[in-house]
Amino acid sequence: MLDLDEQALIEESKKHCEVFLQKEQRSLATFTRDPSLMYIPDPKLERFLLDPSKGVLYLPLQSFLDGKLDDNQIMWHIYYELSLYSDWKKQTKKYLNRKKDWQKEIDHMTSYILDRIKKEGLEEDCAYQPKIISNYARKEILDLLHLLDKQISFLRVLQMCPIYRDKENFEGIVSYMKQTGKTIESISQMPRHRAFANSLLIIELYKRVPTIEGCDENPFNRKVFNQSFFNFIHYQLVRQINNEQGIIERDPFIRSFIFPIFEQLWKEEIDEMVFYKSEGQKKEQVGGSENPFEQSKADEISDSLESTQEEEKKILQEMLDKQEQISWNVQNTIQGKVDLVPYGISETDQQLFQFYSNKMKMEREQMRQFWKKLIGDAKKEVSVKRGDQIKGKLNVGSFINSYPDFVEAEKKGNYKNIPIFNRYLLEPQTDRLPERIEISFVIDNSGSMNASKIEVARKALAVTLLSIDDFNQYLKSNAEQLNQKVEILSETWFFGSKYYNVKEFNDKNVKEKEKSDIIRSIVKLNATDGATDDASCLREIYDRITSKQDSELKKGKQKKIIFEITDGASSCPGSAKEAVQELLSKNVEIYAFQMGKSNNTNEKIFNFIWNEGYKEPHGIMIGEQIERLPKELLKAVGKNMQSVFDNY
């Protein structure tokens, strides 16, 4: 706990920092190209924290105090942290897709290493499997790009803010870099290719070319267009900065002039490696690393004030989410889409929903591909026998029945004219699918649903409801090819001490209401409904099955599926089990997912309701691995739809 004097110092420093930042607002806006970005000192932080969704950079005040940094030094750190910010905003996807853009180089190095492993006869060794090698190659290349991004950050600050070229200020920067491990001596401890990658910034700092151990010729002694290699790289990067060029121009430049040397040094190391079987003795490498394909921690900066590579990736993803949210709002405005406020959905609700929608984009796209394949398979024609013909594959039954005619015809030499061969035609399948498929989601909204459970339940519900909507659209657009109309509808129920229908089956094709109900299902999930009475909710769904629907369920003209999500045991286990049994007797498919930590009693109750006494279990225990819920729910929905389309 801080004493009063220390607390007072922090408060005083915080006020000073806020006033100082206010004065520098114009300079910061010019540098970042974003006048709306706010700067807030936080005494609890050890490093910078950029929150794109709020448009705030949180500053590590305590680190500034511990380092006894003056205003110029603080500003340098802010500039250095935000140096690529303007390019991040312009080329967010490009930064996030670097792995894909550099996949050719990653694959090439992976193949090179695997060939070397094969020569050693170790291709079956678990330590040298393709996935391990591919991950290693990817990390080495992405680390190179990250290092070069940091060099660009360093150079951009010097170009945009000449004050830091002054001897005193520059020495302060060098002092900080030394503290983070950026020294000439550190190069000697690194493998050649990493030493080369780190040397570019080292030379900028110390104006000296370090020795790279193991190199017959220092790569920095090379000439490019009659210039020394380093000078050429330096001036080209500075030129790109001054021309406000970013990753679009930088990465092709790296690929052409820097990566080939990096790759050459890397290959030399691979060629010199000594490989050992992973069983019985340690894996060793010339150079002293315990594992040749494990990232050394020696060259990683752990105590810098700036964001790490992983933190930057998270920032970029949040920036992309925000951009897509803005794009979505603009698109709605341009297209004149109906305001959802009359349906009880506020702008805040829409934004929260969009957040979860963005988070689950990848899973939704995977389901889209699944739906397309499922419908494509359903559209396939079947071979149908239509009588016999005079050529083709022999029909044994027809041959036996026509044998007397065959004997007679053979005598005359014209037996080939007898219709004893199969005749098949390709005909589309018709009326084999249910006309209506209903899916009900029964969601626990009781008080025991904490923040993490609500978060994962919202994700699961958002991606599943949207995926069902996608599937329904595909079904409508392919009705002619399927030779029948099929519609899939969803509803959502919440239960706690009471139950209520949040989203209704929308069979009137009112898009605004459907979207509003989907959004409501997500944002209204907030753990405010007391106990865990799922029995009453399941009973209500059972009571809503009409005699007509009951008949059509039996005939297969309709399909009804229920998915329950709960974090605990039912408050009324006997009634809940009875409701499940009655629903099953009506040909309703029903399943439950239990998530979160559970005790033995709750597990017994859950199994009693959902698994005991049935031919097949209907309950799935997810347990503490709650992040599995979206995947498991999507899998269950997909499996049931697959079953519908395969069995009809």
Nearest to residue 184, comparing CAs of 210, 159, 162?
A: 210
- Residue pair 564/442 in contact (Cβ under 8 Å)? The answer is yes
> What is the spatial distance between Cα 148 and Cα 197, in angstroms, rounded to a whole number?
8
**478 pLDDT more than 80:** no
Instruction: Please tell me the number of Cα atoms within 13 Å of 602 on its side-chain side.
Output: 15
Q: What is the pLDDT of residues 539-595, one digit of tens each?
A: 999 999 999 999 999 998 999 999 999 987 788 899 999 999 999 999 999 999 998
> pLDDT band at 378, cuts 50/70/90?
low
Does the pTM surpass 0.85? The reply is: no
How much is the average pLDDT of 342-348?
82
**645 pLDDT more than 60:** yes
Give the residue, 305 or 323, on which the prediction is more confident: 305
**7 pLDDT more than 60:** yes
**222 pLDDT more than 50:** yes
CA distances to 536, 563, 616 from 440, rounded to whole Å, are 15, 6, 20
pLDDT > 70 in the chain, percent: 82
Nearest to residue 273, comparing CAs of 259, 287, 261?
A: 287
> pLDDT band at 340, cuts 50/70/90?
confident
Q: What is the pLDDT of residues 489-521, one digit of tens each?
A: 999 999 988 898 999 987 666 678 888 899 999
User: What pLDDT is recorded for position 318?
Assistant: 87
Any idea what DSSP says for residue 341?
Answer: G
User: What pLDDT is recorded for position 473?
Assistant: 80
The encoded tokens of residue 25 equal 């607002």
- In 425-508, where does DSSP find H-type helix? 451-477, 479-482
> What is the spatial distance between Cα 648 and Cα 644, in angstroms, rounded to a whole number?
6
> What is the spatial distance between Cα 190 and Cα 620, in angstroms, rounded to a whole number?
49
User: What residues contact residue 358 under an 8 Å CB cut-off, 6+ apart?
Assistant: 320, 321, 324, 325
> What is the spatial distance between Cα 498 and Cα 445, in angstroms, rounded to a whole number?
10
H/E stretch holding 426 reads: strand 421-427
Give the residue, 242 or 365, on which the prediction is more confident: 242
How much is the average pLDDT of 43-54?
89
Q: What is the pLDDT of residues 416-426, one digit of tens each?
A: 555 655 554 44
Instruction: Please tell me the number of Cα atoms within 13 Å of 274 on its side-chain side.
Output: 10
Lowest mean pLDDT among 89-93, 268-272, 546-550, 642-646: 642-646
Q: What is the pLDDT of residues 450-476, one digit of tens each?
A: 888 888 999 999 999 989 888 888 787
- Residue pair 296/190 in contact (Cβ under 8 Å)? The answer is yes
User: What residues contact residue 474 under an 8 Å CB cut-off, 6+ apart?
Assistant: 371, 372, 375
Nearest to residue 225, comparing CAs of 235, 238, 240?
A: 235
State the chain's mean pLDDT as an integer. 84
Q: Is 42 exposed, middle or buried (0-12, 13-18, 19+ CB in 10 A)?
A: middle
> What is the spatial distance between Cα 223 and Cα 231, in angstroms, rounded to a whole number?
9
User: Coil, strand or helix: which one is 439?
Assistant: strand
Matching residue, tokens 């060794």: 125
Give the residue, 184 or 408, on which the prediction is more confident: 184
Buried b (16+ CB within 10 A) or exposed e, 117-147: beeeebeebebbeeebbbebbbbbbbbbbbb
User: What pLDDT is recorded for position 422?
Assistant: 55
> What is the spatial distance between Cα 193 and Cα 211, in angstroms, rounded to a whole number?
13
User: What residues contact residue 86 under an 8 Å CB cut-off, 6+ apart?
Assistant: 32, 33, 34, 246
Matching residue, tokens 């680390």: 143
- Residue pair 534/570 in contact (Cβ under 8 Å)? The answer is yes
Tally of CB atoms within 10 A around 462: 27
Q: What is the pLDDT of residues 151-208, one digit of tens each?
A: 999 999 999 999 999 999 999 999 999 988 899 999 988 999 999 999 999 999 999 9
- Phi and psi at 53, nearest 5°, equal -65, -35
Give the residue, 563 or 285, on which the prediction is more confident: 563
User: What pLDDT is recorded for position 607?
Assistant: 92
